[in-house]
Amino acid sequence: MALQERLRTLVTHTGPSIEDVRRLGGLDVSYSKDGSRLSAAVVVLDMGTLNVEQVTTYEDTPKFGYVPGLFSFREAPPLLAALENVDPLPDVLLCDGHGIAHPRRFGLACHIGVITGIPTIGVAKQAMIGHYEEPDGPQGSWSPLMDAGKVIGRALRTADNVKPVFVSIGHKISLDTACDIVVHSTPKYRIPQPIRLADQASRHVLRAGTVT
DNA sequence: GCGACAG
DNA sequence: ATCTTGTCGC
């Protein structure tokens, strides 16, 4: 927790505008059913077409348990290991978890951003802290996620009439641009394509290692 | 003290 | 996260 308090002071809220983004990265980690193995995946997509350019995975064993608020210590190491084999690196990374919408304002997306220096966005399926009102039905509708009187993110509708996702900045990006990128990268389903494909890729790796 | 608590 | 069973909708 002390490390998070120190690293959070390095987070910045400005960065590229959506026109500057040529490649988008999606990050996710899957676990074997008994929890003894994990697979981290990075999928790189072309920002304009959303075509897949590269898929990289990294397998390991979990080194840190799941503790709410300390999630990045579990998933950042394998994700950073996978990123070492990615070339060229994406202009922006979409992370499966929160950015500053975190008890100490330093979730997984912030951690990945500060360590790599790459702009990052946090996309979570559930709110961890904060309060919000239900956004309207149409895709792109949003409402602020508030905590302690401050805006820490947004509840964003990524597709018509589906449950919203929770977007917060990770590092080197504005909340407006972060939401623009998330909506742009969600052509059909609730979960942005980069994260959705990373989820599939990481899961497929674990199944490939299963004896059937 | 009690409830909440990303994945 | 992962597992389980069923339902709704395109």
| Residue A170 resides in a domain | yes
**DSSP readout, A12-71?**
-S----GGG--EEEEEEEEE-TTSS-EEEEEEEEETTT--EEEEEEEEE---S---TT-T
Task: Give the pairing type, strands A23-31 and A92-96.
Answer: parallel
| A 83-102: CB within 7 Å of strand C | 96
Strand C nucleotides, any atom under 7 Å from protein beta carbons: they are 1-3
| Residue A155 resides in a domain | yes
Question: CATH code at A48?
Answer: 3.30.2170.10
| Residue A137 resides in a domain | yes
DSSP run (H or E) holding A95: strand A92-96
Q: What is the pLDDT of residues A112-158, one digit of tens each?
A: 999 999 999 999 999 999 999 999 999 999 999 999 999 999 999 99
| Residue A182 resides in a domain | yes
pLDDT at position A209 is 75
| Residue A211 resides in a domain | no
| Residue A159 resides in a domain | yes
Q: What is the pLDDT of residues A113-122, one digit of tens each?
A: 999 999 999 9
The domain of A121 spans: 2-206
Question: How far is CA A35 from each of CA A21, A31, A206, rounded to the nearest angstrom?
Answer: 36, 6, 11
Q: What is the pLDDT of residues A23-77, one digit of tens each?
A: 999 999 999 999 999 999 999 999 999 999 999 999 999 999 999 999 999 999 9
The three-state DSSP-derived secondary structure of A151-210 is EEEEEECCCCCCCCEEEEEEECCCHHHHHHHHHHCCCCCCCCHHHHHHHHHHHHHHHHCC
Q: Is the CB of A127 under 7 A from strand B?
A: yes
| Residue A34 resides in a domain | yes
CA of A169 to C1' of B6 (A): 14
DSSP run (H or E) holding A147: strand A142-147
Question: How far is CA A26 from each of CA A1, A3, A50, A112, A192, rounded to the nearest angstrom?
Answer: 26, 25, 11, 12, 9
Nucleotide nearest to A103 (CA to C1'): B5
Cβ pair A137, A125 in contact under 8 A: no
pLDDT at position A43 is 98
CA of A128 to C1' of B1 (A): 22
Q: Which amino acid is at A111?
A: H
What total number of domains does chain A contain? 1
DSSP A84: T
CA of A30 to C1' of C3 (A): 14
Mapping DSSP to helix (H, G, I), strand (E, B) and coil, where does residue A100 land? coil
Cβ pair A134, A154 in contact under 8 A: no
| Residue A212 resides in a domain | no
